[in-house]
Chains A and B, each alone.
Chain A
Protein backbone atom coordinates (compact mmCIF):
# COMPACT_ATOMS: atom_id res chain seq x y z
CA UNK A 1 0.00 0.00 0.00
CA UNK A 2 1.55 3.31 -1.01
CA UNK A 3 1.34 6.49 1.04
CA UNK A 4 -1.43 8.01 -1.06
CA UNK A 5 -3.62 4.92 -0.74
CA UNK A 6 -2.94 4.83 2.97
CA UNK A 7 -3.95 8.46 3.42
CA UNK A 8 -7.18 7.84 1.50
CA UNK A 9 -8.01 4.85 3.67
CA UNK A 10 -7.15 6.74 6.86
CA UNK A 11 -9.35 9.65 5.70
CA UNK A 12 -12.24 7.24 4.99
CA UNK A 13 -11.83 5.62 8.40
CA UNK A 14 -11.65 9.00 10.11
CA UNK A 15 -14.93 9.86 8.42
CA UNK A 16 -16.43 6.81 10.14
CA UNK A 17 -16.33 4.39 7.21
CA UNK A 18 -16.07 0.83 8.58
CA UNK A 19 -14.51 -0.29 5.27
CA UNK A 20 -11.63 2.08 5.94
CA UNK A 21 -10.95 0.48 9.31
CA UNK A 22 -11.26 -2.96 7.78
CA UNK A 23 -8.70 -2.09 5.10
CA UNK A 24 -6.29 -0.81 7.76
CA UNK A 25 -6.69 -3.97 9.82
CA UNK A 26 -6.18 -6.18 6.80
CA UNK A 27 -3.05 -4.26 5.87
CA UNK A 28 -1.46 -4.19 9.32
CA UNK A 29 -3.18 -7.21 10.88
CA UNK A 30 -0.44 -9.80 10.20
CA UNK A 31 2.28 -7.55 11.56
CA UNK A 32 0.26 -6.52 14.61
CA UNK A 33 -0.96 -10.02 15.32
CA UNK A 34 2.58 -11.33 14.83
CA UNK A 35 3.81 -8.76 17.32
CA UNK A 36 1.16 -9.72 19.87
CA UNK A 37 1.68 -13.47 19.41
CA UNK A 38 5.47 -13.16 19.64
CA UNK A 39 5.24 -10.84 22.64
CA UNK A 40 2.78 -12.87 24.69
CA UNK A 41 3.53 -16.37 23.41
CA UNK A 42 -0.18 -16.99 23.62
CA UNK A 43 -2.58 -16.82 20.70
CA UNK A 44 -5.64 -16.09 22.85
CA UNK A 45 -3.90 -13.18 24.56
CA UNK A 46 -2.86 -12.00 21.12
CA UNK A 47 -6.48 -12.09 19.91
CA UNK A 48 -7.56 -10.12 22.98
CA UNK A 49 -4.86 -7.56 22.36
CA UNK A 50 -5.81 -7.29 18.70
CA UNK A 51 -9.43 -6.65 19.71
CA UNK A 52 -8.34 -4.02 22.20
CA UNK A 53 -6.06 -2.39 19.67
CA UNK A 54 -8.89 -2.28 17.14
CA UNK A 55 -11.03 -0.45 19.67
CA UNK A 56 -8.23 2.01 20.37
CA UNK A 57 -7.70 2.49 16.65
CA UNK A 58 -11.37 3.28 16.10
CA UNK A 59 -11.40 5.61 19.08
CA UNK A 60 -8.11 7.40 18.53
CA UNK A 61 -7.66 7.56 14.78
CA UNK A 62 -8.79 11.19 14.77
CA UNK A 63 -5.71 12.08 16.79
CA UNK A 64 -3.38 10.60 14.17
CA UNK A 65 -1.43 13.32 12.40
CA UNK A 66 -0.93 12.37 8.74
CA UNK A 67 2.56 13.86 8.75
CA UNK A 68 3.83 10.97 10.89
CA UNK A 69 4.20 7.37 9.79
CA UNK A 70 1.00 5.44 10.38
CA UNK A 71 2.63 2.11 11.21
CA UNK A 72 4.88 3.73 13.80
CA UNK A 73 1.85 5.44 15.36
CA UNK A 74 -0.03 2.14 15.43
CA UNK A 75 2.87 0.14 16.84
CA UNK A 76 3.48 2.73 19.53
CA UNK A 77 -0.07 2.05 20.77
CA UNK A 78 0.54 -1.70 20.45
CA UNK A 79 3.86 -1.43 22.33
CA UNK A 80 2.18 0.41 25.21
CA UNK A 81 -0.52 -2.24 25.37
CA UNK A 82 2.05 -5.03 25.49
CA UNK A 83 4.04 -3.17 28.13
CA UNK A 84 0.89 -2.87 30.28
CA UNK A 85 0.16 -6.56 29.73
CA UNK A 86 3.70 -7.54 30.74
CA UNK A 87 3.40 -5.44 33.90
CA UNK A 88 0.15 -7.20 34.76
CA UNK A 89 1.72 -10.60 34.08
CA UNK A 90 4.62 -9.78 36.37
CA UNK A 91 2.19 -8.67 39.05
CA UNK A 92 0.16 -11.90 38.74
CA UNK A 93 2.42 -14.53 37.17
CA UNK A 94 0.10 -17.41 38.01
CA UNK A 95 -2.78 -16.14 35.91
CA UNK A 96 -1.01 -15.43 32.65
CA UNK A 97 1.93 -17.08 30.99
CA UNK A 98 4.55 -15.41 28.84
CA UNK A 99 6.18 -18.75 28.22
CA UNK A 100 6.44 -20.36 24.84
CA UNK A 101 4.92 -23.41 26.49
CA UNK A 102 1.36 -23.01 27.73
CA UNK A 103 -0.38 -25.06 30.41
CA UNK A 104 -0.81 -27.94 28.01
CA UNK A 105 2.98 -27.98 27.43
CA UNK A 106 2.49 -27.79 23.70
CA UNK A 107 4.96 -25.59 21.78
CA UNK A 108 3.62 -22.30 20.50
CA UNK A 109 3.91 -23.35 16.87
CA UNK A 110 1.79 -26.45 17.49
CA UNK A 111 -0.82 -24.46 19.33
CA UNK A 112 -0.96 -21.87 16.60
CA UNK A 113 -1.58 -24.61 14.09
CA UNK A 114 -3.97 -26.58 16.28
CA UNK A 115 -5.97 -23.54 17.32
CA UNK A 116 -7.54 -23.81 13.93
CA UNK A 117 -8.67 -20.93 11.84
CA UNK A 118 -6.94 -18.35 14.04
CA UNK A 119 -3.70 -18.67 12.12
CA UNK A 120 -2.12 -20.10 9.07
CA UNK A 121 -1.46 -23.54 10.51
CA UNK A 122 0.66 -24.86 7.68
CA UNK A 123 3.12 -22.02 7.98
CA UNK A 124 3.19 -21.75 11.74
CA UNK A 125 3.50 -25.44 12.40
CA UNK A 126 6.75 -25.51 10.53
CA UNK A 127 9.88 -26.34 12.40
CA UNK A 128 11.43 -22.99 11.55
CA UNK A 129 8.53 -21.19 13.17
CA UNK A 130 8.89 -23.25 16.29
CA UNK A 131 12.60 -22.53 16.43
CA UNK A 132 11.89 -18.84 15.90
CA UNK A 133 9.44 -18.84 18.81
CA UNK A 134 11.97 -20.62 21.03
CA UNK A 135 14.78 -18.32 19.90
CA UNK A 136 12.69 -15.25 20.71
CA UNK A 137 11.97 -16.70 24.11
CA UNK A 138 15.71 -16.80 24.82
CA UNK A 139 16.03 -13.03 24.44
CA UNK A 140 15.54 -10.77 27.41
CA UNK A 141 12.22 -8.89 27.39
CA UNK A 142 13.58 -5.50 26.33
CA UNK A 143 15.69 -6.91 23.51
CA UNK A 144 12.79 -9.08 22.28
CA UNK A 145 10.47 -6.05 22.27
CA UNK A 146 13.03 -3.95 20.42
CA UNK A 147 13.63 -6.65 17.79
CA UNK A 148 9.88 -7.18 17.28
CA UNK A 149 9.11 -3.47 17.05
CA UNK A 150 12.00 -2.93 14.66
CA UNK A 151 11.31 -5.82 12.32
CA UNK A 152 7.52 -6.04 12.56
CA UNK A 153 6.56 -2.46 13.30
CA UNK A 154 9.36 -0.94 11.24
CA UNK A 155 9.84 1.39 14.17
CA UNK A 156 12.93 3.52 13.58
CA UNK A 157 15.90 3.17 15.89
CA UNK A 158 15.42 6.76 17.00
CA UNK A 159 11.82 5.99 17.94
CA UNK A 160 12.94 2.82 19.72
CA UNK A 161 15.42 4.84 21.75
CA UNK A 162 12.59 7.20 22.74
CA UNK A 163 10.18 4.38 23.57
CA UNK A 164 12.69 2.58 25.77
CA UNK A 165 14.28 5.76 27.08
CA UNK A 166 17.82 4.83 26.16
CA UNK A 167 20.53 6.32 23.93
CA UNK A 168 20.32 5.64 20.19
CA UNK A 169 23.52 3.57 20.28
CA UNK A 170 22.11 1.34 23.01
CA UNK A 171 18.95 0.65 20.98
CA UNK A 172 21.02 -0.38 17.97
CA UNK A 173 23.37 -2.47 20.08
CA UNK A 174 20.47 -4.36 21.65
CA UNK A 175 18.72 -5.00 18.33
CA UNK A 176 21.95 -6.15 16.72
CA UNK A 177 22.80 -8.46 19.60
CA UNK A 178 19.21 -9.79 19.50
CA UNK A 179 19.49 -10.38 15.79
CA UNK A 180 22.72 -12.30 16.19
CA UNK A 181 21.23 -14.36 19.02
CA UNK A 182 18.18 -15.24 16.90
CA UNK A 183 20.39 -16.39 14.04
CA UNK A 184 22.52 -18.40 16.43
CA UNK A 185 19.50 -20.10 18.03
CA UNK A 186 17.97 -20.88 14.69
CA UNK A 187 21.12 -22.08 13.02
CA UNK A 188 23.13 -19.63 11.00
CA UNK A 189 22.62 -21.32 7.65
CA UNK A 190 18.93 -21.88 7.23
CA UNK A 191 17.45 -18.81 9.00
CA UNK A 192 13.71 -18.26 9.15
CA UNK A 193 11.63 -19.65 6.32
Chain B
Protein backbone atom coordinates (compact mmCIF):
# COMPACT_ATOMS: atom_id res chain seq x y z
CA UNK B 1 0.00 0.00 0.00
CA UNK B 2 1.33 3.42 -0.96
CA UNK B 3 1.54 6.02 1.75
CA UNK B 4 0.80 9.68 1.30
CA UNK B 5 3.31 12.43 2.15
CA UNK B 6 1.71 13.02 5.53
CA UNK B 7 2.15 9.38 6.48
CA UNK B 8 5.73 9.46 5.19
CA UNK B 9 6.37 12.47 7.38
CA UNK B 10 5.32 10.42 10.42
CA UNK B 11 7.69 7.67 9.25
CA UNK B 12 10.46 10.25 8.89
CA UNK B 13 9.94 11.52 12.42
CA UNK B 14 9.91 7.94 13.68
CA UNK B 15 13.19 7.17 11.87
CA UNK B 16 14.68 10.35 13.33
CA UNK B 17 14.06 8.95 16.80
CA UNK B 18 10.80 10.67 17.74
CA UNK B 19 8.12 8.73 19.55
CA UNK B 20 5.45 8.24 16.91
CA UNK B 21 2.75 5.58 16.92
CA UNK B 22 2.91 4.11 13.42
CA UNK B 23 0.23 2.18 11.61
CA UNK B 24 1.16 -1.20 10.18
CA UNK B 25 1.65 0.24 6.70
CA UNK B 26 3.83 3.05 8.05
CA UNK B 27 5.89 0.62 10.08
CA UNK B 28 6.40 -1.58 7.01
CA UNK B 29 7.60 1.45 5.03
CA UNK B 30 10.04 2.38 7.82
CA UNK B 31 11.44 -1.16 7.84
CA UNK B 32 11.67 -1.19 4.06
CA UNK B 33 13.60 2.08 4.03
CA UNK B 34 15.99 0.69 6.66
CA UNK B 35 16.42 -2.49 4.66
CA UNK B 36 17.43 -0.35 1.69
CA UNK B 37 20.51 0.79 3.61
CA UNK B 38 21.72 -2.78 3.98
CA UNK B 39 20.89 -3.53 0.35
CA UNK B 40 22.38 -0.53 -1.37
CA UNK B 41 24.89 1.34 0.80
CA UNK B 42 27.75 -1.03 -0.03
CA UNK B 43 26.60 -1.85 -3.55
CA UNK B 44 26.62 1.81 -4.56
CA UNK B 45 30.18 2.41 -3.39
CA UNK B 46 33.03 2.55 -5.90
CA UNK B 47 36.59 2.39 -4.63
CA UNK B 48 38.84 4.91 -6.28
CA UNK B 49 42.38 3.85 -6.99
CA UNK B 50 44.84 4.80 -4.27
CA UNK B 51 46.88 6.72 -6.85
CA UNK B 52 43.83 8.87 -7.67
CA UNK B 53 43.36 9.71 -3.99
CA UNK B 54 47.06 10.47 -3.49
CA UNK B 55 47.19 12.64 -6.58
CA UNK B 56 44.04 14.53 -5.56
CA UNK B 57 45.47 15.19 -2.12
CA UNK B 58 48.89 16.27 -3.40
CA UNK B 59 47.28 18.59 -5.91
CA UNK B 60 44.94 20.07 -3.31
CA UNK B 61 47.75 20.73 -0.83
CA UNK B 62 49.99 22.20 -3.51
CA UNK B 63 47.23 24.43 -4.90
CA UNK B 64 46.30 25.64 -1.43
CA UNK B 65 49.90 26.46 -0.51
CA UNK B 66 50.37 28.26 -3.81
CA UNK B 67 47.20 30.30 -3.31
CA UNK B 68 48.22 31.14 0.25
CA UNK B 69 51.66 32.28 -0.90
CA UNK B 70 50.11 34.44 -3.65
CA UNK B 71 47.64 35.84 -1.18
CA UNK B 72 50.42 36.84 1.21
CA UNK B 73 52.46 38.35 -1.61
CA UNK B 74 49.43 40.33 -2.71
CA UNK B 75 48.42 41.42 0.76
CA UNK B 76 51.83 42.56 1.96
CA UNK B 77 51.76 45.80 -0.06
CA UNK B 78 48.12 46.27 0.98
CA UNK B 79 49.14 45.87 4.61
CA UNK B 80 51.99 48.32 4.12
CA UNK B 81 49.62 50.84 2.51
CA UNK B 82 47.12 50.41 5.34
CA UNK B 83 49.89 50.91 7.88
CA UNK B 84 50.99 54.11 6.12
CA UNK B 85 47.41 55.41 6.13
CA UNK B 86 47.17 54.67 9.83
CA UNK B 87 50.51 56.31 10.49
CA UNK B 88 49.56 59.46 8.55
CA UNK B 89 46.16 59.62 10.22
CA UNK B 90 47.78 59.19 13.62
CA UNK B 91 50.33 61.88 12.91
CA UNK B 92 47.55 64.21 11.75
CA UNK B 93 45.69 63.70 15.01
CA UNK B 94 48.80 64.33 17.05
CA UNK B 95 49.45 67.64 15.32
CA UNK B 96 45.89 68.71 16.09
CA UNK B 97 46.01 67.64 19.72
CA UNK B 98 46.01 71.25 20.95
CA UNK B 99 42.60 71.71 19.28
CA UNK B 100 41.01 69.24 21.71
CA UNK B 101 40.77 66.41 19.23
CA UNK B 102 41.20 63.07 20.96
CA UNK B 103 43.89 60.81 19.59
CA UNK B 104 42.28 57.40 19.33
CA UNK B 105 44.70 55.49 17.15
CA UNK B 106 48.32 54.69 17.67
CA UNK B 107 50.01 54.06 14.33
CA UNK B 108 51.37 50.54 13.86
CA UNK B 109 54.86 49.98 12.53
CA UNK B 110 54.77 48.74 8.93
CA UNK B 111 56.97 45.75 9.71
CA UNK B 112 54.67 44.66 12.51
CA UNK B 113 51.61 44.71 10.29
CA UNK B 114 53.44 42.80 7.59
CA UNK B 115 54.44 40.19 10.19
CA UNK B 116 50.83 39.76 11.23
CA UNK B 117 50.00 38.99 7.62
CA UNK B 118 52.85 36.55 7.30
CA UNK B 119 51.68 34.73 10.43
CA UNK B 120 48.09 34.33 9.17
CA UNK B 121 47.51 30.59 8.89
CA UNK B 122 44.76 30.58 6.34
CA UNK B 123 43.01 32.60 3.70
CA UNK B 124 40.33 33.26 6.24
CA UNK B 125 42.82 34.80 8.71
CA UNK B 126 44.23 36.96 5.97
CA UNK B 127 40.80 38.06 4.82
CA UNK B 128 39.85 38.88 8.39
CA UNK B 129 42.98 40.97 8.96
CA UNK B 130 42.50 42.78 5.66
CA UNK B 131 38.86 43.55 6.49
CA UNK B 132 39.72 44.77 9.97
CA UNK B 133 42.51 46.99 8.69
CA UNK B 134 40.27 48.45 6.00
CA UNK B 135 37.49 49.09 8.54
CA UNK B 136 39.92 50.66 10.99
CA UNK B 137 41.45 52.99 8.45
CA UNK B 138 38.05 54.11 7.17
CA UNK B 139 36.88 54.68 10.77
CA UNK B 140 39.98 56.74 11.50
CA UNK B 141 39.47 58.84 8.38
CA UNK B 142 35.78 59.32 9.13
CA UNK B 143 36.55 60.20 12.74
CA UNK B 144 39.15 62.68 11.60
CA UNK B 145 36.74 64.32 9.15
CA UNK B 146 34.00 64.59 11.80
CA UNK B 147 36.43 66.05 14.32
CA UNK B 148 37.70 68.58 11.80
CA UNK B 149 34.16 69.81 11.02
CA UNK B 150 33.29 69.95 14.72
CA UNK B 151 36.44 71.95 15.45
CA UNK B 152 35.65 74.40 12.66
CA UNK B 153 32.06 74.79 13.94
CA UNK B 154 33.35 75.44 17.47
CA UNK B 155 35.79 77.97 16.09
CA UNK B 156 33.08 79.74 14.09
CA UNK B 157 30.73 79.83 17.06
CA UNK B 158 33.49 81.24 19.23
CA UNK B 159 34.21 83.97 16.66
CA UNK B 160 30.49 84.88 16.39
CA UNK B 161 30.18 85.10 20.18
CA UNK B 162 33.34 87.18 20.38
CA UNK B 163 32.06 89.56 17.71
CA UNK B 164 28.86 90.32 19.60
CA UNK B 165 30.61 90.65 22.92
CA UNK B 166 33.26 92.91 21.42
CA UNK B 167 30.58 94.97 19.62
CA UNK B 168 28.63 95.49 22.89
CA UNK B 169 31.77 96.72 24.60
CA UNK B 170 32.34 99.30 21.88
CA UNK B 171 28.85 100.75 21.96
CA UNK B 172 28.85 104.39 23.04
CA UNK B 173 27.77 105.06 26.64
CA UNK B 174 25.01 107.45 25.64
CA UNK B 175 23.02 104.75 23.89
Contact = CB atoms under 8 A, between A and B. Distances in A.
Given A59-B123, A152-B44, A169-B12, 14 more contacts: A18-B57, A47-B56, A54-B57, A62-B124, A120-B46, A151-B36, A151-B41, A157-B15, A169-B6, A172-B8, A176-B32, A192-B39, A192-B43, A192-B44
B5 A170 contact: yes
B29 interface: yes
Interface of A: 18, 21-22, 25-26, 29-31, 33-35, 37-38, 46-47, 50-51, 54-55, 57-59, 62-63, 112, 117-120, 124, 128-129, 132, 147-148, 150-152, 154, 156-158, 161, 167-173, 175-176, 179, 182-183, 191-193
Interface stretch (B60-68, B78-86, B106-114): B60-68
B57 A176 contact: no
Q: SS class of chain A's interface: helix, strand, loop or mixed?
A: helix
Contact of A51 (B3, B7, B46, B56): B56
B149 interface: no
A173 B53 contact: no
A42 to B, nearest CB: 12
A62 B122 contact: yes
B51 interface: yes
27 contacts: A18-B61, A22-B53, A25-B57, A26-B53, A30-B45, A30-B48, A33-B46, A34-B46, A37-B46, A46-B46, A47-B48, A47-B56, A58-B60, A59-B64, A118-B48, A132-B43, A132-B44, A147-B40, A152-B41, A158-B16, A172-B12, A172-B15, A173-B5, A175-B33, A191-B43, A192-B43, A192-B44
A159 B40 CA distance: 19
Contact of B48 (A119, A151, A183): A119
